[in-house]
Structure 1
């Protein structure tokens, strides 16, 4: 065990944040802390690191264990370059290298009598240098920096000239390079693009030490975490498995808690009714019995009502005006600033689609949304909106909110036709309940303001939503609410996001902006990962450079062909899944028939025995036919 937290409690002026929080992290274990914004996740990490004191409780680290900590914001002000900052981590290797050079010179100058002693020192230092991977330290630094999204041209940039997000990435690189026994990471994916997040995910999975992560990136948590520590109502609960395992178990637990709560409430209501009835008899014995029941009722340990979203939160948001079938047509679109972002883009979006635009940082995703929305002009090309299309645009930097209004007034002033109940239902669907609706917009956090903007957008006359990083600053619960809202939305959605889990849950199609052009994937993020290598090779690597503009313009013409091919592929995959399910059921049935055959009563009954044998033979025959069909179909995938 590398870390143990025992009964950690912490209270601020606003109230308790942590109450008797206990958990442990074993060596090599990968764990994640999850919870809504304000649950105390970052506070807990600071207490573990000694940056903040707990009101009570203890933190134990195994003797001699080294710890690396990445906070959400890093301020590294130094004249050193990015590469030199990482070189500081390898100070011991550099010192050994200097010793080796000095001993090499000494060996050349030493007489025969002293040479053996010098050579012995040289062998010892060289061995230590090799053990510390001294010959590969430069490539190790380069690999980590490139993995986190830095180009070789960036290595010589001075750290004090970098943005906050770039400094955080430098600090993360330095932390990973130091290889501590325990790594604590607070929102490590915030400043990484999808490629860098994927690299970090692989690195942490293969990391030999222990890891404790706070993150809202559920796809990342699915890939890395083997244990989830949930902070809820100031308490900690540990779940084994990744995020999806946790979500399944949490749902079952929540349903059980809700059932227990409702059963207890029913019993309390029953007892209160009995007490009231006994009192109404107004007799000494009945009053005493009522008082006795009251005492028993007071002794019951009341179950707190689970924090459950009520049914009104699953509202279906329908645009006031339907668009035509063709929502957006983009033809030969190009845009350059200092360098070309993209050229000759061609794509269409149909009514009801939810299309995700993905790609590395700086590829032009946000610029593309702004061009479609008329905020930024294109260099060449044409944007055509379909009949009755009304755009609604969401951008973290362009939220139209009135800071002096309450949340309730923010909605009611813009949508006066909504009833009070409808306004409360809409706000509740974005996690603003009870007295929250009377909070001033100006007092909200960045994530809460984002939720209000999204609520207004979903209520607008728009039937075509353009969303730029809609999940930024949202906690996991808020993301799930947004996913449900978009999946129930009856309009059309085009969004930019780095949140792979969110994309996987909501996208019906993915446009990958890479190599200055778009590659189309008809499916969610898992489908994109499955087909990425094949389609990239076909559309980018195998197209001669002189033919690429022609290939790009041909993309639109081949769109229908690709769509049909992918439709046929999905049909095959569905049939394969159906066959696999049927085989599993038949094998399960055979297992039960084997149990019957082993039953002495059936064994003694010849007629019944023959019937069971025939049933099993028929199952085996069907399984063989299905497996032949499966093999035949699998050749086409």
Structure 2
């Protein structure tokens, strides 16, 4: 149904009661009808908070939220009653459209009744309006529409009599999404809607959003999805440029036109400009420091002729002193001004540090991993794969296929029930786990990091993973994404011969995920990655370095 409405956020700030930091600061953007805006940012950046403000669950400290009359909202975690079967959920979603059909039947009967001309005209007008609404809303195709949505979200084989408590968490969430897509709403607000969707389900949702006539705001970490569906992106992660230097791009909530690929290009342009400004500043700093350190002998290199009178010598000496003084004061004044408004260097791009010399030669002539008919009962296998030193293996497959189990087996945390697994003893192994496994939640992130990396390693700030204020906070106060940065930094500071990465882009900002992928592509060691990330998988197939391999696990 056509909608002239916009979804608008105007000057919104929000702090949770008792909080010491604002979650959202002076956020302003709009989503017009027929447009999809992606909301991006690391876990803890405020995406879910903003969506709850839009839904009316929370109230902003300042600013206004304007939404169309009927705004459909789905959170990351559904609150559906487990005792209810799916059928009432779907029936409730289409009740308004069913009522239109019922209304048409009632009015059609009244059209045949004897009534006054005025009453007849009123019934005819109501009938035409209801008929137009039915045609506009697809009432006549409602049953096929329900079947199409359920099939598109992978729910066609789940009986509607099944109670929500009998379903998996993924199925419950997909039913909630199906109900939202079936409701006649003016706007859509979705929080991580691709969670629990397979590739076909994501493609179906992309088509649904592209056809939706109203404004749609979608919080997501799914780069493939955002690249396919978004008309613009709002980034809740500040930090594209230094305050007072590159400009407004530093504020939270910068809006970028275009899809995810366009967002990456815009970030790269901003970063390049930042680097150019910093380089120009440092060149000027060096010139001013040299000028500020010059004296009389640096400016006047010739000696005074012996034939000149003492009066002439004094005149030239006084003039030289005055000239030197003016130039020194000017240079020092400009140097002080530069220091006050100095542009910091752009943060370092992610890269591996301290790579051991043997990392590309791990046990020359012998595979880094040999798995033959490997089985972990009810979790994996049988799997046969060989990984040579320096190769990068991507392990893909649906949830439950055994991707994480395979990595835990390679790490030595699990013992296979059947088959052969051989990893040379000389090879060092480390894994970036999918889940947050930290226990030192009262210890500052910087201390935890420093205790786990070799002396002389760059710190979290120098690696471009955290600023000093965040690194000084206890781990328990950090978001999942920030904790994952600590884990990632430890591996980057002291990489192993065999690097195991379980869903490495989970909880990371999209920009950081991009940097991690590039660092991995440049890493000479052996890598095994388990992921469902479609963006990674698509790029993997485009790699031309000859080191990338792919194995697909079946559930």
Fold-level similarity (TM above 0.5): yes
Match of 2:218 among 197, 213, 229: 213
Determine which structure has greater relative contact order: mean sequence separation of CA pairs < 8 Å that are 6+ residues apart, divided by chain length. 2
Distance 1:411 1:298 in 2: 35
Q: 1:513 to 1:306 in 2, by over 3 A?
A: farther
* Larger displacement relative to structure 2 (76-85 or 120-129): 120-129
User: Residue 252 in 1 paired to residue 257 in 2?
Assistant: no
> Contact 1:358–1:498 (CA<8 Å) still a contact in 2?
yes
Match of 2:371 among 330, 333, 338: 330
Distance 1:112 1:440 in 2: 76
Match of 2:507, SS? Answer: coil
Residue deviations 1:271-290 (CA, integer Å, cap 9, x gap): 68767879xx9999998998
Match of 1:184, SS? Answer: strand
Q: Displacement, 1:320?
A: 5.9
> Contact 1:319–1:462 (CA<8 Å) still a contact in 2?
no
Q: 1:391 to 1:175 in 2, by over 3 A?
A: same
Q: Displacement, 1:329?
A: 2.9
> Contact 2:499–2:527 (CA<8 Å) still a contact in 1?
yes
User: Residue 94 in 1 paired to residue 129 in 2?
Assistant: no
> Contact 1:399–1:453 (CA<8 Å) still a contact in 2?
no
Distance 2:494 2:423 in 1: 18
Q: 1:240 to 1:121 in 2, by over 3 A?
A: closer
- Tell me which residue corresponds to 1:240: 257
* Larger displacement relative to structure 2 (267-276 or 20-29): 267-276
Distance 2:221 2:367 in 1: 35
Q: 1:260 to 1:460 in 2, by over 3 A?
A: closer
- Tell me which residue corresponds to 2:423: 385
* Larger displacement relative to structure 2 (483-492 or 429-438): 429-438
User: Residue 30 in 1 paired to residue 19 in 2?
Assistant: no
- Tell me which residue corresponds to 1:464: 498
Distance 2:42 2:382 in 1: 43
Q: 1:373 to 1:301 in 2, by over 3 A?
A: closer
Distance 2:427 2:352 in 1: 25
Q: 1:430 to 1:328 in 2, by over 3 A?
A: farther
Q: 1:475 to 1:323 in 2, by over 3 A?
A: farther
5 Å matches for 1:362-377? 362-376=400-414
User: Residue 74 in 1 paired to residue 91 in 2?
Assistant: no
Q: Displacement, 1:137?
A: 2.6
- Tell me which residue corresponds to 2:51: 45
- Tell me which residue corresponds to 2:432: 394
Distance 2:113 2:188 in 1: 50
Distance 2:356 2:502 in 1: 21
- Tell me which residue corresponds to 1:488: 522
Q: Displacement, 1:250?
A: 1.7
Distance 2:46 2:283 in 1: 34
Match of 1:309 among 347, 355, 366: 347
> Contact 1:317–1:485 (CA<8 Å) still a contact in 2?
no
5 Å matches for 1:115-194? 129=134, 131-150=136-155, 152-153=157-158, 155-160=160-165, 166-194=171-199
Distance 2:20 2:222 in 1: 28
Q: Displacement, 1:215?
A: 1.8
> Contact 1:8–1:21 (CA<8 Å) still a contact in 2?
yes
- Tell me which residue corresponds to 2:302: none
5 Å matches for 1:388-467? 388-397=426-435, 399=437, 402-415=440-453, 418-419=454-455, 421-424=456-459, 428-429=462-463, 431-434=465-468, 436-458=470-492, 462-467=496-501
Q: 1:111 to 1:4 in 2, by over 3 A?
A: closer
Residue deviations 1:108-163 (CA, integer Å, cap 9, x gap): xx99989xx9x989987777655543343334233323433435235333235556
> Contact 1:218–1:243 (CA<8 Å) still a contact in 2?
yes
Distance 2:406 2:200 in 1: 20
Distance 1:411 1:319 in 2: 23
* Larger displacement relative to structure 2 (305-314 or 295-304): 295-304
Distance 2:353 2:21 in 1: 33
Distance 2:355 2:159 in 1: 46
Residue deviations 1:208-236 (CA, integer Å, cap 9, x gap): 33322222222221111122233424344
Distance 1:131 1:287 in 2: 81
Match of 1:5, SS? Answer: strand
> Contact 1:330–1:345 (CA<8 Å) still a contact in 2?
yes
TM-score, normalised via structure 1 length: 0.65
Q: Displacement, 1:266?
A: 5.1
Distance 1:204 1:111 in 2: 41
Give the number of aligned pairs. Answer: 501
- Tell me which residue corresponds to 2:233: 228
Residue deviations 1:402-437 (CA, integer Å, cap 9, x gap): 44544444345445xx22x31526x74360343554
Gaps of 5+ in 1: 517-637
> Contact 2:350–2:464 (CA<8 Å) still a contact in 1?
no
Alignment RMSD, CA only?
A: 4.4
> Contact 1:16–1:234 (CA<8 Å) still a contact in 2?
no
